[in-house]
Amino acid sequence: MRAAILLGLALMAQQVWAADDDEIVTDRPDFVESSNVVGKGRLQIETSVALERNRDAGTRERSVLTPTLLRVGIGDTLELRAETDGRLRYRSDGPDGALRQNGYTDTAVGLKWHARDEEGSMPSIGFLLHADLASGSRAFRGQGVRPSLRMAAEWELPNDYSLGIMPGVIRDRNEQGGHAVNGIFGIVLGKSWTERFRTFVELSAPQIARSRNGGTQATFDVGGAWLLNRNCQIDLAYSRGLTRETPDHYVTIGFSYKL
């Protein structure tokens, strides 16, 4: 039902190409965030459906999520953000039997600041300060408040290529209840083929940590986005897990709209 609604909205939006020049720029479907903000007085929603699959030690795991990001412009260089993986349906089948869990994931709130535009060899830069809150259902809830800080840097390259990197840190908690400062990193190469269509390849590490703190999660990502009009985008992406701590496969289809 959710996918049908998104498709219906996309088909309606395709009929009109908005007259203003303030074109939508999204933080999805790649892991590396954009350095840009939505603009003063603008609201942008980026939502999706995602399927995650993993096989480990004879156990098959499947999850269906609804990742969603809400962005509200409170200034020309500042935006408020609320982000969640949304509704989660989890299923596992293995030697010990089957497990079914449904509920909601934690929500993160934060700010993004567009610090500077690209100039010469210097990139466009944005900073993101978030706090993940223990607000989800009991089965999917994290421990306490987990603050994070990331920097997004972007370069426009010749022949309609672009390069982005995003280092960062997050203060998390391990299973023993102790605190740990883990790393975050992503690098993405994008290509705009037309005014409306772009693709990307990416290496991402949403968690760089010692084994006692959950280990390192890393993926190789590919995908693309299609601009239906200046305020509306649909996208598709696939991620392949590169470490044991990372799910084997992740597919997402998304819809973004700017008001």
Residue 91 has pLDDT above 80, yes or no: yes
Question: What pLDDT band is residue 15 in, cutting at 50, 70 and 90?
Answer: very low
Residue 97 has pLDDT above 90, yes or no: no
* 204: its two tokens: 């991402």
Amino acid at 183: G
Partners of residue 205 on adjacent β-strands: 185
Q: pLDDT tens for residues 163-180?
A: 999 999 999 877 666 789
Residue 21 has pLDDT above 80, yes or no: no
- By C-alpha distance, which of 156, 134, 154, 149 is closest to 182? 149
Q: pLDDT tens for residues 128-156?
A: 999 999 999 999 998 889 999 999 999 99
What pLDDT does residue 177 have? 67
Summary mean pLDDT of the chain: 91
* Cα dihedral across residues 125, 18, 45, 219: positive or negative: negative
Q: pLDDT tens for residues 215-253?
A: 999 999 999 999 999 999 999 999 999 999 999 999 999
* 149: its two tokens: 């800080």
What pLDDT does residue 175 have? 66
Which residues fall within 8 angstroms of residue 156, CB to CB, at 6 or more apart? 118, 162
Q: Which CATH number fits domain 2-258: 3.40.1210.10, 2.60.40.10, 3.40.50.2300, 2.40.160.40?
A: 2.40.160.40
For the segment 207-214, the average pLDDT, to the nearest whole number, is 90
Q: pLDDT tens for residues 49-85?
A: 999 999 988 899 999 999 999 999 999 999 999 999 9
Cα 74 to Cα 206: distance, rounded to the nearest angstrom:
27
Residue spans of the domains in the chain: they are 2-258
Which residues fall within 8 angstroms of residue 255, CB to CB, at 6 or more apart? 6, 9, 10, 46, 47, 48, 232, 233, 234, 235
